[in-house]
Amino acid sequence: MTGDDSGNVDFNVELLEPNESIRENYVDGDLISVEPAIFEFDFSSTNANRDFISYEIETGGQVQIVSPSEADIVRVEIQNHGLHRIILMAEDNMGNEYMRYVTVSANLEIHWTEENTHEPRPLLIDSIPSNHGVAADVIVIESIVSNPELVQGLASGQSVEFSWDLIDEAQTVCQSNDGKVDDGGEVVWKTLHFDTYGVHELQVTYNSGQDYIDIEHMITLVYPESDGMEQSVS
């Protein structure tokens, strides 16, 4: 907090939820959509204490300026997973400036689907945060391989044998699991991976059979939770 007349003013900003997720959706290996993590800041208590002429929020070098007459709640979109330091600023009609910062946590959720394949494509998991900050706590993996019935209601297909592999940048298999899925059935693999600072591939390998299979991956990069507490910028 700075300025000639700022000593007795509380700069109160409420962060409505400090932990959100970015959501990526892939179909047959192609990125279809990305939903950013959205964080909302409520400046209404601040506005009740002093006449402010502007609010500013800075994250990742980008500054968003909002007039108090436009809105008390300001939304910030974050496109990159990781922990992010956000600076909150305001200026009152006396020229005094006020500043706080908070840390928010943006997890990454990946949803991946492939249908009717003999050659599943690898899913790239880049778990290095773009700001090269704190690594994720864990990579949560849930993968489903299903073998749709060739003719609905008739067991006319065959079983398919396959394997899952989680592979790191050195092409080392970190985790693996073998599966066999019958006609009309599905097999689920759930696992956690704690070596998170790097790039991995999740690969399903079709080992034997004739039927086409469907793949569904649900991956979550989970970062340390933020408590959303405001702190003064020194």
| One pLDDT digit (tens) per residue for the chain, 234 residues | 333 344 445 677 889 999 999 999 999 999 999 999 999 998 877 655 567 788 889 988 888 888 877 778 889 999 999 999 999 988 888 888 888 889 999 999 999 999 999 999 999 999 999 888 899 999 999 999 999 987 665 666 789 999 999 999 999 999 999 999 999 999 999 999 999 999 999 999 999 999 999 999 999 999 999 887 654 432
> In 10 A of CB 84, how many CB atoms?
23
Q: Which residues contact 94 (CB under 8 A, 6 or more apart)?
A: 3, 4, 5
Q: Which range marks the domain in which residue 155 is found?
A: 118-222
The model's pTM is: 0.87
Residues 117, 222: contact at Cβ < 8 Å? Answer: no
Asked if residue 50 is part of any domain, the answer here is yes
Are residues 176 and 125 part of one domain? yes
Same domain, yes or no, for 37 and 100? yes
> In what order do the strands lie in the sheet containing 14-15?
14-15, 37-42, 73-78
Shared domain for 129 and 218, answered yes or no, is: yes
Count up the domains in the chain and report the number. 2
